Amino acid sequence: MKRSALVLFSGGQDSTTCLAHALQRYERVETLSFDYGQRHRVELDARRHVLRELRAAFPVWAARLGEDHLLDLSVLGQVSETSLTRDVAFQMETSGLPNTFVPGRNLLFLTLAAALAYRRGLEVVVTGVCETDYSGYPDCRDDTIKALQVALSLGLDRRTVLETPLMWLDKAQTWQLAHELGGTALVDLILEHSHTCYAGDRSQRHAWGYGCGQCPACELRARGWQQYAAEG
């Protein structure tokens, strides 16, 4: 029985749901994110707000929630030119991938997370990657994660578990999972405080939360919410 986890936590809907999943399951949970010159500091602000609200609304989880880590990964800006780190508009590339794609980014994130988990004595790394409802990032695929888990276990000479609770869920099912974990209070918290929009827009509040309503992240979130709300 594993007892502790490190959650890759960006402050979005998916990673907030993963954090709740870990807090439900493990006695000690720490969080990790990366600062790589995101165009929108709003994402880093969302993290702080979500952590604060989770602590306030869920005392049992608050007792389990430990240190929050933020690693400087500005080097990513040196190896990639994407709409996440540069001031260019979101678009699809000829490769069929969106220009938010940073080659190998998730491999790097998970490798650093495993190294940090090793040092902190945390047994599981939890990440919100998802193959079902996604832009097709190849380093979020189940096969990639499983291969990396093997590589990390060998390279660290310690069993490394990469847990992916959302891998086969669509966005409506992710809302459903949030409801199962923390009821309406958690769903409302995610709606109000998590941030997904690529454009960093928090000026408009929709039924599904804040965002520009136009970018692919907003479209996905809105569609998932509408489906979830219709089923509920």
Give the DSSP H or E segment for 221. Answer: helix 216-231
Write down the least CB distance from residue 198 to Zn ion, Å.
5
Residue of 191, 197, 220, 222 interacting with Zn ion (CB under 5 A): 197
CA distances from 173 to 16, 170, 208 (A): 14, 5, 14
Residue closer to Zn ion, measured from CB, 98 or 165:
98
Contact track, Zn ion, 145-184, x by CB under 5 A: ----------------------------------------
Length of the chain measured in residues: 232
Q: Which is nearer to Zn ion, 57 or 212 (CB)?
A: 212
Of residues 200-229, those binding Zn ion (CB under 5 A): 211-212, 215, 218
SS3 of residue 101 by DSSP? coil
- Distance between CA 137 and CA 96 in Å, rounded? 10
User: In angstroms, what is the minimal distance from the CB of 199 to Zn ion?
Assistant: 5
Contact region with Zn ion (CB under 5 A), list: 24-32, 51-59, 183-191, 197-205: 197-205
Quickly list DSSP for 80-102: ---TTTSS----B-TTSSBTT--
Q: Are strands 124-126 and 4-8 parallel, antiparallel or unpaired?
A: parallel
Minimum distance, C-beta of residue 120 to Zn ion, in the bound complex (Å): 34
Dist. CA 183–CA 189, nearest whole Å: 10
| Contact range with Zn ion by CB under 5 A, out of 12-20, 49-57, 74-82, 189-197 | 189-197
Q: For residue 125, give the 3-state DSSP assignment.
A: strand
Contact call for residue 199 and Zn ion (CB under 5 A):
yes
List interacting residues with Zn ion (CB under 5 A).
197, 199, 211-212, 215, 218
